[in-house]
Amino acid sequence: MTPASSRRTFIKQSATLGMGLALPLNSPSMSKTLVGHGTFIYQADAKWGNLDPQKHPLQHCHEMVLDSRGRLVCSSVSNQHDVLVYNKDGKLLKAWAHELPEPHGLSKAGEGEDQTFWITDCTDGRVINLDLDGRIIRELDAPPTELLDGKPYKPTETTVAGNGDIYVTDGYGSNKIFRYDSKGRLQHSFGGSEFFDCSHGIVLDERTAQPTLLITSRGANEFQRWSLDGKQLDVHRLPGLSICRPVIDGEETYFAVIVTKSWWAYDGMVAVLDRNMKVVSLPGGSAPMDQSDFTGVKYDNRTFLNPHDVCLDEDKNLYVPQWYSGRTYPLRLRRV
């Protein structure tokens, strides 16, 4: 089956998901509702990124970044596109198609007009590099099968170090992190299922004395910190919060909590952590009270369904794409 036909089959098979789902996101009272806690308070705008579903049909979204041109770039699953490019007002600028059935991770590397995007497809096992106009520059070779511990290769995220090394986490497969050099040559791997329960997200953290990797173990509700050469340094547990990828902005760390109580309960929220990795705000949920256990956090039953990522602009507004949430487009939380 070709990538294009497999994507059409996937969309067709999953088309009924979300049908009849009572979405609270477009209720008249939504625009009047503030969410969040402490100094991290937001006004939710569920209509921000809405498009004509006849022109731009959508199954769901995964991740979003703000690029060097000031555009919001979002990986999306559709039979017509796999990347949506918005301006900050929620107007669609571009829709790119690369025949990816499940574009998942979307990260950026570099600055200015030399900036590029990395996209992982967790169905076809592809990791592609795009320029700012959406053209494929290169594609990383998949790791050899003997390194995958008998698992299919299902990469979920990338991050790029200052020297150009590319780290790919196989979050839906072997749970290993594969390190490539700047030329795309595989150097080594580390991690695996003995360390991670879904190594879903990874980011370069330059807030530490020496740059480190902050990696999600989503099923274990924790972040792990690793050295760039693959040594585990620390574990930070957040019981009750199923973490997607970490997003660093200044001293804070943000992430989408895709689920709190159970899958398909549509009870996700967003988390904001301070410089000490303390949860200071949970937009979409109740106030964080116990830093050792978040299993008692309650979903507000209106803001999100299954949020999958967080993106910030220069004004600290949040943009949130959602996974399997009744074909919703990304929404905005405006910082107040």
Query: What local confidence, expressed as pLDDT, does residue 17 receive?
Result: 39
Q: Which residue is associated with the tokens 């988390």?
A: 271
Would residue 152 count as lying in a domain?
no
Q: List CB contacts of 282: < 8 A, sequence separation 6 or more.
A: 36, 37, 257, 269, 270, 271, 272, 288, 297
Would residue 176 count as lying in a domain?
no
What is the domain extent for residue 292? 25-55+266-336
Query: What local confidence, expressed as pLDDT, does residue 32 receive?
Result: 55
* Nearest by Cα to 306 from 233, 218, 230: 218
Would residue 75 count as lying in a domain?
no
Query: What local confidence, expressed as pLDDT, does residue 33 receive?
Result: 79
Tell me how many domains the chain contains. 1
Would residue 197 count as lying in a domain?
no
Would residue 332 count as lying in a domain?
yes
Q: Which three-class secondary structure string do you get for 38-59?
A: CCEEEEEECCCCCCCCCCCCCC
Token pair for 53: 């579903």
Query: What local confidence, expressed as pLDDT, does residue 177 receive?
Result: 98
Would residue 73 count as lying in a domain?
no
Tens of pLDDT, residue by residue, the chain (336 residues): 333 333 434 334 443 333 334 344 444 444 457 999 999 999 999 999 999 999 999 999 999 999 999 999 999 999 999 999 999 999 999 999 999 999 999 999 999 999 999 999 999 999 999 999 999 999 999 999 999 999 999 999 999 999 999 999 999 999 999 999 999 999 999 999 999 999 999 999 999 899 999 999 999 999 999 999 999 999 999 999 999 999 999 999 999 999 999 899 999 999 999 999 999 999 999 999 999 999 999 999 999 999 999 999 999 999 999 999 999 999 999 999
Would residue 138 count as lying in a domain?
no
Would residue 29 count as lying in a domain?
yes
Strands 176-180 and 166-169: what pairing? antiparallel
